[in-house]
Structure 1
Amino acid sequence: MPPVYATRALVAVLCELAADADPDSVSVRLAATPARDLDAGDETHTLDPDTPVLSDFYFPSAGDALTSVFGVDLAAPAGQTAGRFVSHPKGDHTVTLADDLHAQLLVGVPPWEPGEVRAHNRHGTRREFVVVDADPPAADAP
């Protein structure tokens, strides 16, 4: 099973979101960028250009009104979430039935540092997690 890749900046922001929400948990939809499109040094050149790297997130509060009424997550475009980050404030990395299982699931625990984030597949099996020093391409101005 291939590793799960994420940018260092994304992991840092996810840890900040989890720390801000503590003692409550947070669940964040994640988007990936192909390695070839990342702005990085030589590190991403060792990855296959098609390798998805988790690089962006959708704000956790986006679409809450619709979700709470219909029980369906309508805030993120269909097919554009490559994974999910969930925080476990009680400190257990184990994936639970309450976690929204995507193909890739990142689980963070206190003390909310990047080294305390683990990757799992949709069945809760731990996967290798690699943080890369890269940034997604700059968004085009509207």
Structure 2
Amino acid sequence: MSADAEPDALSVVLAPTRAGAFDADLGLDADTPVLTHFYLPDAGRSVTAVFGLDLSTPAGRGRARFHAHPQGPREPTKRDDFAAAVIVAVPPWDRTEVRAYDRSGSRLALEEVDAEPPEESLGDASL
């Protein structure tokens, strides 16, 4: 998505799943958040423009943000939407150019986990 959006910046909401919810043992504390979902940045844009609220992200989700900075820097900027965790990438859009930060801009460790998130269903939801 970052390469497709270039030369424009990109901001994507990321949502976690607790490590304990995975079928496989990830070697992490059960309460550790693992980023497993993202919400397309264009979803709900017209509703957000009219009401000024991000109604495209379910309540309680989206505690992290991914930002693509085509012209840099590789750190969060004042123009970015902040969250509990902020992941920033710069060209050439590979794993070596991705860094994670907390809300105050301090670097965080970013570990890639090779795991399939648990299946989700709408359950008993009715229309």
Q: So what's the TM-score if we normalise by structure 1?
A: 0.79
* Residue of structure 1 in register with 2:47 after alignment: 66
Matches within 5 A, 1:1-142: 17-40=1-24, 44=26, 46-140=27-121
Please state which structure has a larger fraction of its residues in strand.
1
Which is helix-richer, 1 or 2?
A: 1
AA matched with 2:61: Q
2-side partners of 1:99 and 1:132: how far apart?
Answer: 26
Aligned residues: 123
- Distance in 2, matches of 1:139 and 1:19, equals 29
What CA distance in whole angstroms lies between the structure 1 residues aligned with 2:6 and 2:109?
26
TM-score, length of structure 2 as denominator length: 0.88
When Rg is computed on C-alpha atoms for both structures, the one with the higher figure is 2
Higher relative contact order (CA 8 A, sep 6+): 1
Q: CA deviation at 1:72?
A: 1.8
Indicate the RMSD between aligned Cα atoms, in angstroms: 1.6
Counterpart contact for 1:101–1:123, Cα < 8 Å: no
- For the residues of structure 2 that align with 1:70 and 1:58, how far apart are their CA atoms? 19
Structure 2 gap segments, 5+ residues each: none
